[in-house]
Chains A and B, each alone.
Chain A
Amino acid sequence: MNTIYLDNNATTKIAPEVLDEMLPYLTDLYGNPSSMHTFGGSLHKKIEEAREKVATLLGAEPEEIIFTSCGTESDNTALMSAVESYPHKRHIITTRVEHPAVFNFIKHLARKGLRVTFIPVDNLGRFDMDTFLKALDDDVVVVSVMYANNESGVIFPIEKIGQILRERKIIFHTDAVQAVGKIPINLKKLPVDMLSLSGHKLHAPKGVGALYVRRGTRFYPYIIGGHQENGRRAGTENLASIIGLGKACELAMKNMEKEIVYLCKLRDKLEKRLIELCPDTRVNGDRENRLPNTTNISFEYVEGEAILLRLNEYGICVSSGSACTSGSLEPSHVLRAMGVPFTAIHGSIRFSLSRYNTEEEIDSVIEIMPKIIKDLRELSPFGKEKIK
């Protein structure tokens, strides 16, 4: 059975070009870039090359890029750095739909006495600018708003938020893990102070990420030890993966324009056909302003885990916002924040595509999925005519 992988917001395949670049550094060239001898020390230039590639993708300067171990570390580092740098300020602003890497870290800071404002979203998952403006005060230490949401794909107005914060000289961090490599980002124009990204979301391996810190932003390291990354992130560099991330950014830069067109075409076809073929179905999130690869669809009267495991039988990989798949009994906090009715959250399925998906794969899903939904609805005590 072939795998049809439509869960690329969870993780992605390592691009073959990326793997090729990495392999020598997992085998023969195993030196430590901090060493004085040529065998190790000469590898340092490979890290700098990778740093340049990451910077180019973001429109940043190489020295503004710090390599980390993952998106979560980048997020935690950014938030902690702001809090440590401005200890007299005690108010953090974020959104109700952040990834746990930000959401739970900020809740952790709240337990330590910081005040937090969670900005809501509307029923299309859009940022509530009015509440945000009212929440701003002189006590704000950092604002952290994700670039694009991992579940709905909705893109937030980062430029507008950034302009407001720049005028007020408030530090602005964005978790851009889902956006980097998928949509253009130009930090030369974008008023953002810190930005997190993760390698494995853009066809680099797991275990590597980066944090952009704008020149002139106060920075305080989170991982403390050796002098690596100019003293901003200690720990021997994950050389092969850093090289892989550099290559992945180069590929994204090269292919982004045509990939956006390609992914939109496949995603829109999938979405349109599924809505046509399955009655009582709704798309969650703002369709006008979202990532090209993501669609989140709710199938009423059926439960997400059941859909997911039936699709699994055909090798189709997706994810769901239902309670049963979250590992807790609470369904997706993102869809709840959007006010999606519980009935629709339980039957929500996220499809997230990548450049490696083909039209044939999408056609297979369009063929298989309606049968599964129909089958499970027959099993369900609910349905339009069944609900009293």
Chain B
Amino acid sequence: MWDYTKRVKELFLNPKNVGEIENPDAIGEVGSIVCGDSLRLTLKIDKETNKIVDARFQTFGCASAIASSSALTELIKGKTLDEALKITNRDIAEYLGGLPKEKMHCSVMGREALEDAIANFRGEKKPKTEEKIVCECFDVSEEKIRKVAIENHLTTAEDITNYTKAGGGCGSCIPKIEAILKDIWFVKPLPEIKVKLKKLTNLQKIALIQDVIDKEIRPRLQADGGDVELIDIEGNKVLIGLRGMCVGCLMGNVTLKGIEKKLKELVSEDITVEVG
């Protein structure tokens, strides 16, 4: 049994804005009867102010699909098209006091119907064939998976299934979904880390340098019978002393450059290393 909130139950039992607007200015349609849920949204739009004057829905689906559709119409009424487009599936879920995670796809369906309607109004409808379909069972495109993953910070294929249904049928596309998630989350965060590096205070920087030397550098040198000691830090200049087998080693300069490279990578680009 699903744990629906009171709000979901209310809007399921007594949904608001049911039906179809006559001569609508915009029509949004998503889902299909085969997939198990489908939503048809009709809008009345004031062409001067671009405001949504009225919104009505028809939904084939479970309790949370009906409640999400009704919530969507309540959220967008009175908003301009640009304001309405800022509504995310999370806003719909929040309006309902939350949805079970397996039912998040209902909120995504609401948001998609809105986008479809507005694109229809603006004459921007794009043919389906342009999309790369990842999940054949539920007809879910890569574009949709990427968008929903980024907006909702989804990191696992199971999350994607909960939010888009993709992967919930035969399951053969799950490796593809995992590859898409890897592409989203494992490449792009890197620049963010660099930004963070520059924000260090002097004290944090000193602590971090000490930490990198202790944890990253010394164990490797010690493995070869050598060692290194942090002597002082002057601005971005790090003064070190080579110890053990490193003393008088012909590769001393290479070692020094190696330490510098590691500190540049993990602490700050501006760091230089010298023997103190």
Task: Enumerate chain A interface residues (CB-CB to B < 8 A).
Answer: 301-306, 309-310, 313, 322-325, 327-331, 342-343, 346, 378-382, 387
Contact = CB atoms under 8 A, between A and B. Distances in A.
A379 B66 contact: yes
A327 B12 CA distance: 19
A379 B33 CA distance: 14
Interface in B151-188: 161, 165, 168-169
B58 A303 contact: no
B36 interface: yes
Interface string B25-63: 000010001101111100000000000000000111111
A330 B138 CA distance: 10
A247 to B, nearest CB: 30
A324 to B, nearest CB: 4
A349 B66 CA distance: 19
Nearest to A305: B62
B13 A303 contact: no
Q: Lowest 3 CB-CB distances: which A-B pairs, in order?
A: A329-B168, A305-B62, A324-B62
Given A303-B60, A380-B58, A324 B36 contact: yes
A330 B60 CA distance: 16
Nearest to A302: B60
Given A303-B61, A324-B62, A381-B58, A343 B33 contact: yes
A328 B59 contact: no
B206 interface: no
B210 to A, nearest CB: 52
B60 A380 contact: yes
A303 B169 CA distance: 18
A306 B138 CA distance: 20
B62 A329 contact: no
B36 A322 contact: yes
Contact of B61 (A306, A343, A387): A306
A346 B36 contact: yes
Contact of A331 (B36, B63, B161): B36
B84 interface: no
A302 B58 CA distance: 11
Contact of B59 (A305, A329, A380): A380
Contact of A342 (B33, B102, B161): B33
22 contacts: A301-B33, A302-B60, A303-B62, A306-B61, A306-B66, A309-B62, A310-B13, A313-B13, A322-B62, A329-B169, A331-B36, A342-B36, A346-B60, A378-B18, A379-B59, A379-B60, A380-B59, A380-B60, A381-B38, A381-B39, A382-B38, A382-B60
A333 to B, nearest CB: 12
B241 interface: no
A62 B82 CA distance: 76
Nearest to A304: B62
A71 to B, nearest CB: 21
B62 A379 contact: no
A303 B102 CA distance: 17
B15 interface: yes
A343 B168 contact: no
Q: Which of A302, A329, A330 has the most CB of B within 10 A?
A: A329
Contacts of B65: 303
Contacts of A327: 102
A301 B33 CA distance: 8
A309 B36 contact: no
Contact of B165 (A325, A329, A378): A329
Contacts of A301: 33, 60
A303 B32 CA distance: 12
Contacts of B36: 303, 322-324, 329, 331, 342, 346
B161 A329 contact: yes
Given A379-B18, A379-B66, 10 more contacts: A301-B33, A303-B60, A306-B62, A322-B36, A322-B62, A327-B102, A346-B33, A346-B36, A380-B58, A381-B59
A326 B38 CA distance: 18
B64 to A, nearest CB: 8
Interface string B1-29: 00000000000110100110000000001
Contact of A306 (B39, B63, B102, B165): B63
B167 to A, nearest CB: 9
Contact of A309 (B12, B34, B102): B12
A98 to B, nearest CB: 19
Contacts of B13: 310, 313
B228 to A, nearest CB: 53
A323 to B, nearest CB: 5
A189 to B, nearest CB: 42
A328 B168 contact: yes
A324 B165 CA distance: 11
Contacts of B12: 306, 309
Nearest to B19: A378
User: For A306, A322, A328, which residue has the most chain B Cβ atoms within 10 angstroms?
Assistant: A306
Contacts of A324: 36-37, 61-62
Interface string B188-215: 0000000000000000000000000000
A342 B59 contact: no
A343 B62 contact: no
Contacts of A378: 18-19
A359 to B, nearest CB: 28
A381 B41 CA distance: 9
A172 to B, nearest CB: 32
Contacts of B40: 381
A379 B38 CA distance: 11
Contacts of B161: 329
A379 B15 contact: yes
B37 to A, nearest CB: 7
A301 B38 CA distance: 10
Contacts of A328: 168
A324 B18 CA distance: 21
| Best-surrounded residue of B18, B29, B40, B58 (most CB of chain A within 10 A) | B58
